[in-house]
Amino acid sequence: MIQIPKHIQDLKPYVAGKTIEEVIKLYNPQRISKLASNENRLGCSELAHKEAFSCTGVIMNYPDPACTELRQAISEKTGIEPERIIAGSGSEGVMALIIRTFFEQHEHALTGDATFIGFTVLINSRGVGLRQVPLMQGYRFDLDAISKSITKDTKMVYVANPNNPTGTYITRTEFEVFMKTVPDNVLVIMDEAYFEFARDLSDYPNSLDYNYDNVITLRTFSKAYGLAGYRIGYGVAHPDLIAALMKVKLPFEPGLPAQKAAIGALKDDDFLEKTLELVTKSRNRLYDFFDDRDINYVKSASNSVMVVFENEEKAISFTDEMLKKGVILRRLPAFGLPHCVRITVGLPEEMQHFEQSFDEIYATQLSN
């Protein structure tokens, strides 16, 4: 038998939320609202569809390995030079590339508790160390505690901003103070997968506005742009870091339809604005709904809201009963928050379905 390395044997894989097909098979509810995966419930831009289908006539050919056209489109949108940009299979794909590229075996990564589980899975699969620092009050990254935890063997610090699953964010002042404490030889990954939802907050730090040589910014087309099924994202960093990543990157990913869809999405500012408007309205609607019922939740800078229950048992009961009614939500034990549930904000009819189902369950058990 082939010996499997211990760090792989011990690895807990990423477990996604239930699919619509799984819920139909289990409960066959009258209707389904998928509010578990932070997808764009509005869909995606028609321009993205059009661009993706425009390449079907040449799909027998390998795509441009450098993603030249897409990197140029990102450059024009962000003002960042193309040589500072790398495309990948979602921001998580770029994250995996970073982890493969930069670690020596004796080094470790630092991050907060209760953050994006994809990062912890990727680090553990690499077989290097991972240290997680507790979040501070309000389910926010404690950058001061993370800074104090940096040692000579720290290679990387990961910060999701806004954070997934909590929806909280670090402020501009917190980011600037933190970066003054980080040694130049420590990489800081700023995962801004939910950037578009937070960008207009007065104290939100867009990391692309800074010129730190040791920061790698991650962005995705999966959330606000609605291209989760295409798996397309990008990273921005110093050209030397990008050049190193390009040596390790799989030559022909992401695929041609994904590259084209992202180019189309970047052209459609109207669709993005409609998405941001929908998210803001649905998120505020959820706040009002919870406030009226005195439900404990965390205000969010992303497209989801996290509800905090008294204990894990109530969180399990809530998500199970909602599932039976066709409302798919995300319980968070894998993120280190077994008593919490993440709710993606959606279309008005999906929010109505959530509210009606919630009240039916609340009346019978949650209020006890």
Domain segments of the chain as ranges? 6-43+270-366, 46-268
Backbone phi and psi for residue 75, each to the nearest 5 degrees, phi listed first = -60, -45
Q: Which fold has domain 6-43+270-366?
A: Aspartate Aminotransferase, domain 1 (3.90.1150)
- For residues 335 and 165, the answer to whether their CB atoms sit within 8 Å is yes
- Mean pLDDT by runs of 10 across the 368 residues of the chain is 83 76 83 95 96 94 96 97 97 96 94 95 92 96 98 97 98 98 98 98 97 97 97 98 96 95 98 98 98 97 97 95 96 95 98 97 69
User: Which pLDDT score is estimated for 16?
Assistant: 74
Question: What is the fold, at CATH topology level, of the domain defined by 46-268?
Answer: Aspartate Aminotransferase; domain 2 (3.40.640)
Residue type, 66: A
Angle, alpha carbons 48-50-55 (nearest 5°): 105
Contact 220, 197 (CB under 8 A): no
What does the pLDDT read at residue 368?
Answer: 55
Q: What is the pLDDT of residue 366?
A: 54
Q: Is 258 exposed, middle or buried (0-12, 13-18, 19+ CB in 10 A)?
A: buried
Least Cα distance to 248 among 28, 99, 26, 92 occurs for: 99
